[in-house]
A and B are shown apart, each in its own frame.
Chain A
Amino acid sequence: MQPTISTRNDAPAALPNRISDTLATLNPKSFGFEEARHLLWRAGFGGTASQVNTLVGWGMNKSVDYLVDYEKVVWDKRDPQFRSDIMGPPTAEQRKEAEAARRMANGVDKETALAKIRVMRQNAEQDDRAQMREVQHWWLTRMIESPRPLEEKLTLLWHGHFATSYRTVEDSFHMLKQNQFLRKNAAGNFGDLLFGIIRDPAMIAYLDNNDSRKNRPNENLARELMELFSLGVGNYSEKDIKEGARALTGFTFRDDSFAFERNNHDPNPKSILGRSGPMDGDDFVKLILEKRECAQFVATKLYRFFVNDFPCGRKPLDDAAKRVIGEMASQLMGGRYELRPVLKRLFTSQHFYEMSLRNEQIKSPTQLVVGAVRTLNTPVRDLSRVCDAMGRMGQDIFFPPSVKGWDGGRAWINTATMFVRQNIMVFLLTGKRPEGKDPLANEDRFDTSAMLAQLRDAYPDMSDNNPSATLDAILRFTIGRTQPAGRAELDRFMASQRGKDPATSITELLLLITAMPEYQLC
């Protein structure tokens, strides 16, 4: 059952001979429905058909400006108040009580006193874990609702880049504060992110810099600052780590804010990355930013997040990517690490819209669920369940598996996560739960009519008595190609639906489409 070969919408066969390998601007006239859809998926979490059409009407340049200069988009959503005091240091009274308990003679009374303190501590930890889940829901909701999708998408990028896990930090308020810091600087200047992250309480706790002492520097933060946050392996020496750790001594936090402990800082001269002097953490970061390798590292990260895995093991694509990344790095260097100009240039480049790079990025779990809600307009139904599924798919936000963040790409996919991916779509579309219970009667029904009406605007061929054109439009919108190998089966399904309730038929069609391998791509 070979699909008919079409030029644009077939499943990817062999790579074309020529792949654009520069950031040269795409001819704005080439910016149609598919290009706008691609932009919305990559610079955000996808959009409804009517949002795609709006972008087509605006044209490429205005669309990219709108997405990247997101601060101009007004969004006055009130954030909920979260508690800052759950995991705070013990009060004077609590300290006194604990001290008294420790001094008691061994015996039942001491055990009871200690048990009381332990219970208080356990209660606080429990409250904090509950608040962490609330913060998680809050961010997921932002991603789903925000009219500034790139802001949230970049925050997700930096969360994976400066990966910090609640599992170690155990302070939900510090995790929230880090998230807000990343969001504030998401499209600003990479240098600001780097200067800020070495002052961030959650990061300092995560990488033990609060345990770093003048005469016993902890190397954790210095190492990851270079290896994972800025330069990459091979671009610094072990000695740079040791000396860098000395520069970072005294960088700690008190309560919820950064604190510089002068008496814990090593003021003596250090020699880092080829320079010498009595440097501190900020000087260390400055040195890093002067390195071309840093720009190259950041450009690679941006490329992998927005364009394609690199290296991807397919030579023509890797060669092209190498050159594009080089150009992005030069622009970052020349532009003192300002991110917006690089993003705009990327999102308007021929390379970004290269056919063989479209619909070829594996959606992260976040991208999958947020994208489904934002494009299809399904009900969210149950944030806990959605977050739970994201964890099963490998992306529990605020709980990255290590300081390396998420590997992404093919690492998301295995036989177990494949079913979770398919089944969370079943849940979003119908409310059906994997454990087989019927959806509650009052659960929202997924409304297909808005999507169909919007698609009709884009594809006037669509009509109730032309199921093939309807299927064409839905496939273009959902998976970006009209001729997946399973097309004949989908046609057969459409034919079997004649005379049935269209809302049910379209929902069931979407169940089949969202279970297809192509739906995992954007």
Chain B
Amino acid sequence: MSHDILNAFTRREFVRSGLVLASASVMLPSFITRSALAMAPKNGLTSIAGVPDERVLVVIQLSGGNDGLNTVIPYMDGAYAKARPSIGLKADKVLKLSKSDVAFHASMSGAADLYNDGMLSVIQGVGYPNPNRSHFKSMDIWHTADTTASGDGWLGRYFDSECCGFGKGESGTAERTIKKDANPQVGIAIGREAPLAMKGRVIIPISFESADLFRWTGRDVNEKLGDPYARIAAAEAGASIDPDSNAGFLTRTALDAQVSSATIRKAVATKARVNYPDGELSRQLQMVASMIAAGLKTRVYYVSLGGFDTHSGQGNENGRHANLLRFFSGALRAFYADLKAQGNDERVLTMSFSEFGRRVGQNASGGTDHGTAAPMFLAGPMVKPGVLNPHPSLTDLDQGDLKYTVDFRTVYASVLEKWLKTDSKAILDGVYKPADVLKTV
């Protein structure tokens, strides 16, 4: 297949692009790509890579409520040691940060390296008004960017607004006319189910726990079934089925699925370019790095690490929470080393969040209970590096909890406006002044 038949990739076109022919041709039997080609819409034919500034956002979700106060530590504040007699880190254990009165947890040497390389920004005291302390509810609030936790996901709305031009609350029955042209790989979530954050009305992301599961398992019953399975899909795709019928729609999606499966599984089967530390998040980020290396037309990747609900025995410089932070920060450092080795680091912005922080005072079980505001991290060469704002007061509290100083939606607004170059108002259903967290890019 020659490239001249394919339109150049443009930013507005990215979700609208059709079947992913370009990357598929190298690994699929030719009859499939032929049928895919036959089915593709005549104009606005599928996209192809090649634009160097194609931007990617990676979201890392820390599930369970990360203890922000033991992550970015105001170790010089006497109130910290007082609130945390046994789980607090002593000043000689923390990783001090240049030009800052806060420090990283002892196990976060990976994040400290990124910090020293000017690749990490720390935004403190991020939250929202009237914080909700339920895991579900607060997570939904972060996912919908709506304090009533209702509506579609914020990234889903971004996809929808890019492909179909409507934002939150606007009606759109575009499903039937646009979905057939939507790039099925625009959002990829590693996990059991696509997160609410990525679910829109039109675009629904791909999700899989491991690429091995993103495939038809009939061939495990008998590998000889693989060929007829692929040929049937190709025959169906090549047949004259009314494209407006549900049968036509299903046929296109089934072929999309096969092509995406082949593309993704091929991508993640490549050998790692750098060493990643152990851990689930490392595994996920390594897959993401491989997909980026393979040139997938994906805008947003979503990964997550659970276990942050440390009600008891969370430890101090060692222990459960320390391990989680080591996984997180080590995986992030390896991820950027990998991206740099590929020459893709400048294309990739990473953002981490958790549904809430934890209470300032430790509890009787050597842990911490559900709290409110906590730090967010942004990583990549495009971030404004450093600790960007002061830590919220440890003494002026709201029922034992930190008062938030930065609304998380201002960070989303910055990501949308400055990185993804889109109008955040329609997507966030309100005007949020973008937080000053990214270099002018």
A contacts, CB < 8 Å to B: 1-3, 11-15, 108, 111-112, 115, 118, 167, 309, 311-314, 359-362, 391-392, 402, 407, 409-411, 413-419, 422-423, 426-427, 430, 432-436, 484-486, 488-490, 492-493, 508, 511-512, 515-518, 520-521
Contact = CB atoms under 8 A, between A and B. Distances in A.
A283 to B, nearest CB: 29
Contacts of B238: 1, 485
10 shortest interchain CB distances as A-B pairs: A485-B239, A486-B232, A111-B364, A517-B250, A415-B257, A418-B257, A414-B204, A511-B218, A485-B236, A517-B251
Given A413-B253, A435-B213, A489 B193 contact: no
Contacts of A115: 363-365
A332 to B, nearest CB: 25
A508 B221 CA distance: 8
Nearest to B216: A422
Given A391-B193, A416-B205, A511-B225, A360 B245 contact: yes
B207 interface: yes
11 contacts: A312-B176, A313-B177, A411-B175, A415-B253, A416-B206, A419-B213, A436-B212, A485-B235, A508-B222, A517-B250, A517-B254
Interface string B208-234: 100011111110111001001101110
Interface in B165-218: 173, 175-177, 179, 184, 192-194, 201, 204-208, 212-218
Contacts of A12: 241-242, 245, 247-248
A4 to B, nearest CB: 12
B92 interface: no
B232 A489 contact: yes
Nearest to A167: B136
A418 B204 CA distance: 12
A312 B249 CA distance: 12
A2 B240 CA distance: 8
A512 B242 contact: no
A515 B229 contact: yes
A484 B239 CA distance: 9
Contacts of B364: 108, 111-112, 115
Contacts of B221: 426, 430, 432, 508, 511
**Interface magnitude class on chain B:** 35 or more
A211 to B, nearest CB: 13
Centre residue among B212, B240, B248, B250 by max chain A CB count within 10 A: B250
A434 B215 CA distance: 9
A312 B217 CA distance: 32
Contacts of A427: 217
Interface in B246-286: 246-251, 253-254, 256-257, 260-261
Given A432-B218, A485-B239, 11 more contacts: A11-B247, A362-B246, A392-B193, A411-B204, A414-B253, A416-B206, A426-B217, A436-B212, A489-B235, A516-B236, A521-B246
A12 B241 CA distance: 6
B150 interface: yes
A126 B206 CA distance: 30
Contacts of A488: 235
A516 B240 CA distance: 16
Centre residue among A407, A492, A511 by max chain B CB count within 10 A: A511
A15 B229 CA distance: 29
B250 A416 contact: no
A314 B244 contact: yes
A385 B220 CA distance: 18
Contacts of B179: 410
Contact of A11 (B184, B239, B256): B239
A103 to B, nearest CB: 17
Contacts of A360: 245-247
Contacts of B369: 118
B241 A432 contact: no
A517 B193 contact: no
A515 B206 CA distance: 18
Contact of B228 (A359, A361, A417, A493): A493
A320 to B, nearest CB: 15
Contacts of B175: 409-411
A416 B246 CA distance: 18
B217 A423 contact: yes
Nearest to A356: B245
Contacts of B194: 416
Given A12-B241, A410-B249, A423-B217, A486 B231 contact: yes
Given A313-B176, A402-B150, A516-B232, A414 B184 contact: yes
Contacts of A13: 240-242
A413 B136 CA distance: 26
Nearest to B204: A414
A520 B136 contact: no
Nearest to A5: B240
Contacts of A15: 242
Centre residue among B173, B177, B218 by max chain A CB count within 10 A: B218
Nearest to B134: A170
Contact of B247 (A417, A432, A517): A517
A277 to B, nearest CB: 32
B247 A512 contact: no
Nearest to A361: B246
Contacts of A14: 242
Contacts of B206: 414-416
Given A11-B239, A416-B206, A484-B236, A521 B213 contact: no
B205 A512 contact: no
B225 A508 contact: yes
A375 B287 CA distance: 40
Interface string B22-64: 0000000000000000000000000000000000000000000
B246 to A, nearest CB: 5
Contacts of B235: 1, 485-486, 488-489
B239 A2 contact: yes
A111 B363 contact: yes
A515 B218 contact: yes
Contact of A512 (B218, B251, B363): B218
A108 B215 CA distance: 53
B216 to A, nearest CB: 5
A436 B194 CA distance: 22
A434 B256 CA distance: 20
Given A13-B240, A313-B244, A517-B236, A416 B218 contact: no
Nearest to B369: A118
Centre residue among A360, A407, A415, A419 by max chain B CB count within 10 A: A415
A521 B218 contact: no
B251 to A, nearest CB: 5
B36 to A, nearest CB: 13
Contacts of A402: 150
Contacts of A410: 175-176, 179, 246, 249
